[in-house]
Each structure stands twice: as structure tokens, then as C-alpha cells.
Chains A and B, each alone.
Chain A
Amino acid sequence: MKVLIIEDNQELARNIRDFLDREGYICESCDTLEAAKEKLELFQYDCILLDIGLPDGNGISLLNLIRAEYKDSNVLIISAKNALDDKIIGLEKGADDYITKPFHLAELHARIRAVYRRKNLGGTNIVAFNEISLNTDTFEVRVLDHLLDTTPKEFDLLLYFIVNKNRVLSRQAIAAHLWGDYTDNLANFDFVYQHVKNLRRKISGAGGVDYISTVYGLGYKFNAQ
């Protein structure tokens, strides 16, 4: 997957690049609207990460251009302003999703994959890993072709794990993914623990491999090897 990161903060851009590089994505980054326009003219990208506040203008204006000229690219807006207006305008102008700073890199990755899936897989919407397959339309999980009885949050969690396989996922990142930003989820770690526990039990129960392991002190990891 080719990703263009339009973000004026070098450090943040590097974080994203470092993280996505490990997924085998080809990442390029630029820090102004002008540079972004140049890059867009020369190359084609599957996904564009667009910061709203850029030194030479508002990212929304670029969104218009992208939608007019480069229809195939997914656009994910990154904004520090959790202002409702930006969100609504951004999505109305054709952004595919919206993420607010500060985000977890795993969350960003999950979002990129989600918009990519929605657009590029053309209806199949199956995420599979070895014996586990998830249908993102029907929210069904199958392990060795057995239908697993999972709750919506467990489905979310498993998808999050598979998308971010071989990565350490902190409890904070999981809590933020499952319950969003505004809940005071410092106290939700117990729930994370219980969800993970139930999910592991269900997969093992259906004869699947228990890929999920606890990482001491930090969180969990879905081990693909």
C-alpha cells in the first residue's frame, strides 16, 4: 500500500512512517500543501493522511482537489482540533475517516485498513488470518469454519488485533479503540482484561490457536509466528 503523509510536524510524520514501514507500506511524507500537490501529480497513493492545519493553508482545501482529481485515494483526516465543525466539513467534503490527535499508531493503522477495506475489496470484506476469518459486514467470526459467538466489542477487539498483529497493543490503545475518546477509560482496563480473556477462551474453545499473549506490564500482542 502506498501512503502519503501530509503533516507539518516532522516528528509525528516520522512516527507514522516508522510504524507503517513495518507493515510493508511505502510511505512518503511532505509538510506543505504545495509539496503535497506536487507529489499527488507525480504518484498515485492508496491512502492519504491529511493534517488539517498546515503552514501554507487549510488541509480542507486540498481535500477538494483530491476528490476532484484523485478519486481512488482514501483520505484520512488528522486533526488536533477536535472541533465538531472540522469533523463534519471534512466528512462532507469526502474524507473517508477522521482521527483526532493524540492517537495511538495502532488506531491509525486500524483506521487506514478499515477505509482501505471498504473501498478496495469490493464487497467481500473478509479479513482472514490462518484459521480465523472475520466478516466485517456481518460481524461474524469463524474459527476453522465454526461460527464463534462473539459480542460486538470482542469482534472489534479481534479485528484490531489481527490488523495490528505482531505488535504490542497497550491497554490504553485498546480501551480507546473500543470505547472512544470521551469516556473516562482510565478505569476501563479491567474491562479490557475481561474482553481479552473471553476472546481467548472462545477462540481456544473452537479449536483455534491462542495467538494472543500478555506482554508484561504493557498490554497484549497477537503473535502471528
Chain B
Amino acid sequence: MDQYSQQLDGIFQALADPTRRAVLARLGRGPASIGDLAQPFEMALPSFMKHIHALEESGLIETRKQGRVRICTIEQKRFAMIDGWLRDQRAIWEGRTDRLQRFVEAAAKGQKT
């Protein structure tokens, strides 16, 4: 659970920046090279690379070398994790309610007999 929280923290930290969100939005349409990704931003390449590294460290994107360019793609499992967070909470509450129901219904039966 702690590791899970840490991973989520990393994801949300990576998302808390407009440049990184714009990069993700672009990658949502398909893979792109770092050069193409950097083009819309008035930013020196080293600064832009910091954003790419942050995204890569959070696991939200993957990069791989293809010839002379580096291609970035979105890592869908990470996005599923954000969504999975609420599903996990729901599963916890469903389980709790199941157990409460069994406990109370057993107690009610015990009272009648």
C-alpha cells in the first residue's frame, strides 16, 4: 500500500505541471519524437528534457531510441492506476459492507432462536 501511494504521488507530481500535461495530451494521440514534442514550447531543450525525465520517472511515459531520434509513448498501465485508485476504494467499502451484513444477519438469527 505504501509503495502504491508513493507511485501515485509520483504520478500526480508529474501531472502538476502545464508543460508535462501538454506533452501527455500530445502523446495521447500517439507516439512522438522529443523534437516534435518540444517544438510548441518556447523553452531550451535541456529544460524541456527535465520535463521528459520527470514524466519518464513517474512511469507515465516510456522513451526509446529509434535511429537518431528518441520516441516517447504513453504508458497506459500508469493511467489505469489513477483510475484504479477509486475502484480500490470501492472494493474496500464493498467488502466492509458484505462483512457487516453477514455479521448483523448472523446476530439477528441468533436473537430469534
Q: Do A and B bind each other?
A: no
